[in-house]
């Protein structure tokens, strides 16, 4: 920000707002009201920030529809967060991507490189890999053999794409994303502790000489179009089938998605979520931070899993779940209510406990007669 300048009329047209102008002003940046100066469009998208406009140095503000202010120009919008997105795209400075192909890049002769592809320093592209038109690979990206990367993608430094992984067009992968590592899949000669606990509800016999065998991962990972994946997120390849992520899905930093999972379209998966293998997640599902999902469960379309939920069973479409173990939100709230009521009952019991004890003594003495 700072190198770009816009009139209020231009910004109002960009966000599709209603402009009430007190004076002409050139806008060079956007900021909250208390951090704004005379060249800033103050972002007052909620009641607290609207109140802060009384102390702002800004001459103009973005406000929700129906907010009328004196002595400051306003752009009223129906959906402030949508307008916020459009403004930030206007002022956004894209990262410096490589120009052409850096001489230190290693590209197998059999790889197919599209038009206007940018390849940074120390990038490795394996045999028979394909890179789509206008894609930018920043320094230290690894592309395995047979991988297929779509057009108009941006891979930040340190991204690792395993063999045969498919990434759609217009995808953004942030620093150190890993797609296509082997799945966490093993087997023992005799039933192990987990198998015993599942079958019998207890661990009866322990094999101290247990030998653990790795199950190879023959599948791959397939990512749809317009997917964004945050830094240090890992998505493992499938055992036989592919692990898949649907178009338009947005995944935060530090997310783990296990082998054979099928993630639907337009999902939102927040930081530190862990999804165990072979889960099926429907379309438009939201999974909030630090939620954990047990293997082999299904979450229906348009469901919401709240933060830190421990999901141990499947839920149908349009479910809102929370807690550990996770239950429907309405049931969780009901249980909290029962706990409050139980506390009141305990207090009443303590208050009258001596009467109950005296009554029990009376009954015992009466029985002896």
- Catalytic residues, by residue number, are 259
Query: Could you give the CA distance from residue 9 to residue 166 in angstroms, rounded to a whole number?
Result: 43
Query: Could you give the CA distance from residue 317 to residue 280 in angstroms, rounded to a whole number?
Result: 12
Alpha carbon 361 to chain centroid, angstroms = 62
Structure tokens at 358: 């005296």
Structure tokens at 286: 């939201």
- CA atoms in the 13 A half-sphere facing the CB of 57: 8
Nearest to 35 by CA among 75, 74, 71, 1: 1
Dihedral angle sign, alpha carbons of residues 109, 130, 155, 152: positive
> What is the bridge-based pairing of β-strands 286-287 and 142-143?
unpaired
- Region at 254 (left for phi over 0; alpha for psi -120 to 50; beta for the rest): left
Determine which helix (DSSP H) or strand (DSSP E) holds 335, and give its type and residue range: helix 329-368
Could you say which DSSP state residue 131 is in? E
Longest CA pairwise span in the chain (Å): 104
Per DSSP, the residues of 338-360 read HHHHHHHHHHHHHHHHHHHHHHH
Beta pairing partners, 41:
30, 60
Structure tokens at 62: 């973005």
Residues in the chain, overall count: 369
Beta pairing partners, 119:
101, 137
């Amino acid at each position: 920000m700072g190198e770009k300048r816009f009139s209020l009329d231009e910004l109002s047209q960009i966000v599709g707002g209603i402009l009430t102008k007190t004076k002409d002003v050139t806008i060079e940046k956007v900021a909250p009201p208390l951090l704004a100066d005379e060249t800033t469009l103050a972002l007052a998208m909620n009641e607290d920030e609207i109140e802060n406009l009384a102390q702002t140095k800004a001459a103009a503000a973005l406000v929700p529809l129906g907010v009328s202010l004196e002595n400051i120009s306003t752009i009223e919008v129906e959906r402030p967060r949508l307008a916020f997105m459009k403004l930030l795209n206007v002022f956004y400075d894209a990262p410096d991507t490589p120009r052409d192909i850096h001489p230190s890049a290693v590209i197998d002769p059999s790889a197919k490189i599209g038009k206007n592809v940018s390849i940074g320093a120390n990038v490795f592209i394996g045999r028979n890999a394909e890179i789509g038109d206008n894609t930018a690979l920043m320094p230290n990206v690894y592309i395995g053999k047979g991988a297929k990367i779509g057009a108009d993608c941006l891979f930040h430094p340190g991204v690792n794409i395993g063999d045969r992984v498919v990434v759609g067009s217009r995808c953004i992968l942030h620093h150190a994303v890993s797609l296509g590592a082997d799945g966490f899949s093993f087997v023992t000669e005799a039933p192990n502790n987990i198998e015993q606990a599942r079958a019998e509800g207890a661990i009866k016999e322990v094999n101290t000489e247990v030998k653990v065998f790795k199950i190879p991962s023959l599948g791959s990972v397939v990512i749809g179009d317009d997917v964004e994946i945050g830094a240090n997120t890992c998505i493992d390849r499938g055992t036989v089938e592919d692990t898949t992520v649907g178009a338009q899905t947005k995944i935060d930093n530090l997310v783990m998605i296990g082998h054979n999972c099928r993630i639907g379209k337009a999902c939102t998966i927040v930081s530190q979520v862990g999804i165990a293998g072979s889960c099926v997640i429907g379309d438009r599902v939201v999974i909030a931070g630090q939620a954990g999902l047990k293997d082999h469960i299904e979450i229906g379309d348009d469901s919401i899993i709240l933060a830190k939920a421990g999901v141990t069973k499947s839920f149908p479409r349009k479910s809102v779940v929370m807690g550990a173990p996770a239950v429907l939100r309405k049931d969780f709230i009901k249980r909290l209510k029962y706990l409050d009521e139980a506390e009141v009952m305990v207090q009443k019991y303590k208050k009258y406990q001596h009467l109950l004890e005296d009554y029990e003594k009376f009954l015992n003495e009466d029985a002896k007669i």
